[in-house]
């Protein structure tokens, strides 16, 4: 039935730009990260009238904007929203899109585009952003008619947050931003034909998995970010506590279970803990929850857990059997599948099996952890810095890391009590992620302490975002672990290329003077005697603070699974 004449007369007219902002408000967005430019100027003009409802954070580079959006999404559990202009503005988002895609981070990126009649003419700042971003987005779409905006943005937010989350990019031509149309109101999307965000849970797979777990003598649970994305932390904890099974984590799964939980046996993978890596190849049943068997976790696939029956829980059916063949694949949202498993499994005492992990942990502590956290040498280590931070925060801070040795050390040694406390670039390994992601993480969790641990190499990639801190006054604690090298590359050159240090010796500016030029206080620590007081000063300081700690130049991160080796061939030194 059509609208009456009165309804048509009363219908609200909006520009496309206003419709974009109305969609954001309807979806619960309160913070947008972005950088204006010619092709998105109409949206920014409309934003001028929405200041009371939408907070816009002006970053210093579009890559900083999208990493901030990622940090916001990861700490808050909401969809991160990013604005950028056409051409170079849009292409500067690509690294962040790729990072968000592989790490399943929900984003809606809105880019401006040239007028529709100029598309394909190589107009000023025109780039085919749709084809460029297709491989690194969950969905993308170009709008040239304003009337499409409400429905397309509803679909964008739904796709970004549902099922396996991911980044969505909507490209809007300038004419569509300026165009006025009869605004029908905003209707959120909750269904798309042929898109099934949650697979149907099949009872026979649940039953098969329960039988394997109940008959297992030496089961091992490995959990990833799927537990956090599914908001299934409580369900996961109940599952492992009833079963008595040891549980190990991927770096993106870190903080889903408190680090001091008695069944938490540590980190998997290349720089993971000794026990969970070695015993992956000794367990009889391996239960993978919300993780994708990344190569940094598995090492050589032809030598990975060949003795074990594999149970793989995942919301994305394409991940099951992709890298490791599952004995039982349990498709579905782990918030729904874990309680079904918990209901069926038997309560068991697996203290003898956990004691095996404890024995490996003791060996690792004596040979690796103690020398790193309590070094006898004059040089400070990254691990002792993290230990000192733990002692002050008591595991209650959000730790945001960049990529490199400091990232592995922080993930290994940081203590966490609460979920969504570890924000890092996992699958893509994006240097430059740490500082802007920490800014976003603080906006996403304003009541929590946010500490960004960064190497001297990664910091120099996006240090211009100190300007964002200066302008917004956001409170981020920045710790630069400065070893005067591109440390992880240098470690590989040390171990596998006969110490041929090729272009890894990197010089740094005076970070304290640099921070002060942005109105940020800071201090440099070169001697161990000053470290404890400096950490306390940083964490008690009101406002952002930069702490630079000079650590050993040629310290390596161990344990380590050398590339091309089995996880059970992990080296302690």
* Residue in the block written with tokens 């974009």: 20
CB 487, CB 457: distance < 8 Å: yes
* 256 Rama sector, left if φ>0, alpha if ψ -120 to 50, beta otherwise: alpha
Q: Out of 488, 491, 538, 558, pick the active-site residue.
A: 488
CB 82, CB 93: distance < 8 Å: yes
* Residue in the block written with tokens 């006969």: 498
Q: Out of 174, 335, 415, 442, pick the active-site residue.
A: 174
* 503 flagged as catalytic: no
Identify the three-state secondary structure at position 411: helix
Beta strand 285-289 pairing with 398-401: unpaired
* 124 flagged as catalytic: yes
Q: Out of 3, 12, 53, 124, pick the active-site residue.
A: 124
* Residue in the block written with tokens 């992880």: 488
Query: Taking the alpha carbons of 528, 529, 532, 538 in that order, is the dihedral positive or negative?
Result: negative
Report the alpha-carbon distance of residue 496 to residue 73 in Å, rounded: 38
For residue 69, give both structure tokens: 């959006």
Q: Out of 41, 125, 241, 524, pick the active-site residue.
A: 125
Report the alpha-carbon distance of residue 135 to residue 133 in Å, rounded: 6
Buried b / exposed e over 355-378, threshold 16 CB at 10 Å, is: ebbeebbeebeeebbebbbebeee
Q: How far is CA 335 from CA 57, 183, 290, 390, in A?
A: 33, 38, 10, 30
Q: How far is CA 125 from CA 37, 142, 212, 425, in A?
A: 10, 16, 58, 30
CB 289, CB 224: distance < 8 Å: yes
Starting at the edge strand found earlier in the chain, the sheet holding 545-550 runs 422-423, 398-401, 450-455, 477-482, 545-550, 521-525
Cβ partners under 8 Å of residue 287, min gap 6: 209, 213, 219, 220, 221, 222, 245, 311, 313
For residue 146, give both structure tokens: 């304003």
Distance from CA of residue 309 to its chain's centroid? 29
* 125 flagged as catalytic: yes
CB atoms within 10 A of CB 225: 25
For residue 568, give both structure tokens: 């059970």
Identify the three-state secondary structure at position 120: coil
* 488 flagged as catalytic: yes
Bridge partners of 549, per DSSP, are 481, 525
DSSP 519-553: T-EEEEE-SGGGHHHHHHHHHHSSS-EEEEEE--T
For residue 196, give both structure tokens: 């099934």
Report the alpha-carbon distance of residue 25 to residue 81 in Å, rounded: 11
CB 450, CB 398: distance < 8 Å: yes
CB atoms within 10 A of CB 294: 18
Q: Out of 18, 22, 27, 62, pick the active-site residue.
A: 62
Residues with catalytic function: 62, 124-125, 174, 488
């Amino acid at each position: 039935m059509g609208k009456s004449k009165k309804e048509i007369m009363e219908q609200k007219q909006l520009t496309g730009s206003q419709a974009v902002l109305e969609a954001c408000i309807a979806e619960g967005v309160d913070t947008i990260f972005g950088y204006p430019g010619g092709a998105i100027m109409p949206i920014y003009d409309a934003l001028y009238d929405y200041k009371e409802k939408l907070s816009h954070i002006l970053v210093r580079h579009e890559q900083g904007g999208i990493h901030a959006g990622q940090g916001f999404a990861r700490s808050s559990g909401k969809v991160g929203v990013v604005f950028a202009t056409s051409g170079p503005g849009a292409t500067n988002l690509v690294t962040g899109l790729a990072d968000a895609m592989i790490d399943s981070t929900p984003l809606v990126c809105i880019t401006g585009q040239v007028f529709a009649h100029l598309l394909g003419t190589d107009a000023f700042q025109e780039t085919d952003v749709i084809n460029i971003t297709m491989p690194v987005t969950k969905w993308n779409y170009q709008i040239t008619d304003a009337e499409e905006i409400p429905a397309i943005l509803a679909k964008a937010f739904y796709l970004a947050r549902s099922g396996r989350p991911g980044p969505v990019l909507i490209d809007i031509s300038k004419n569509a931003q300026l165009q006025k149309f009869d605004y029908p109101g905003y209707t959120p999307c909750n269904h798309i034909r042929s898109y099934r965000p949650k697979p149907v849970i099949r009872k026979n797979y649940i039953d098969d998995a329960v039988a394997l777990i109940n008959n297992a003598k030496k089961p091992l649970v490995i959990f990833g970010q799927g537990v956090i994305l599914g908001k299934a932390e409580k369900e996961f904890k109940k599952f492992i506590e009833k079963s008595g099974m040891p549980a190990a984590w991927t770096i993106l799964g870190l903080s889903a279970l408190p680090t001091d939980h008695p069944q938490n046996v540590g980190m998997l993978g290349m720089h993971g803990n000794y026990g969970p890596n070695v015993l992956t190849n000794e367990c009889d049943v391996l239960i993978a929850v919300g993780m994708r068997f990344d190569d940094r976790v598995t090492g050589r696939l032809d030598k990975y857990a060949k003795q074990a029956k594999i149970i793989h829980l995942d919301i994305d059916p394409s991940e099951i059997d992709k890298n490791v063949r599952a004995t039982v694949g349990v498709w579905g949202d782990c918030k729904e599948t874990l309680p079904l498993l918990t209901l069926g499994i038997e309560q068991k005492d697996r203290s003898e099996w956990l004691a095996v992990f404890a024995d490996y942990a003791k060996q690792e502590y004596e040979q690796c952890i103690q020398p790193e956290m309590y070094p006898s040498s004059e040089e400070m280590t990254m691990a002792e810095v993290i230990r000192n931070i733990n002692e002050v925060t008591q595991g209650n801070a959000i730790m945001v890391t960049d990529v490199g040795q400091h990232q592995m050390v922080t993930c290994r040694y940081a203590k966490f009590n609460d979920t969504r406390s570890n924000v890092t670039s996992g699958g893509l390994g994006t240097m430059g992620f740490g500082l802007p992601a920490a800014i976003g993480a603080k906006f996403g969790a304003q009541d929590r302490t946010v500490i960004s641990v960064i190497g001297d190499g990664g910091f120099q990639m996006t240090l211009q975002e100190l300007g964002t801190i200066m302008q917004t006054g956001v409170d981020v604690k920045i710790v630069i672990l400065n070893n005067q090298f591109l440390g992880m590359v240098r470690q590989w050159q040390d171990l596998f290329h006969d110490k041929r240090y090729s272009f890894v010796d990197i010089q740094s500016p005076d970070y304290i003077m640099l921070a002060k030029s942005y109105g940020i206080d800071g201090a440099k620590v070169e001697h161990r005697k000053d470290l404890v007081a400096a950490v306390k000063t940083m964490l008690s300081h009101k406002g952002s603070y930069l702490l630079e700690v000079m650590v050993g130049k040629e310290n390596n991160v161990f344990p380590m699974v050398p590339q091309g080796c089995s996880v059970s061939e992990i080296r302690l030194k």
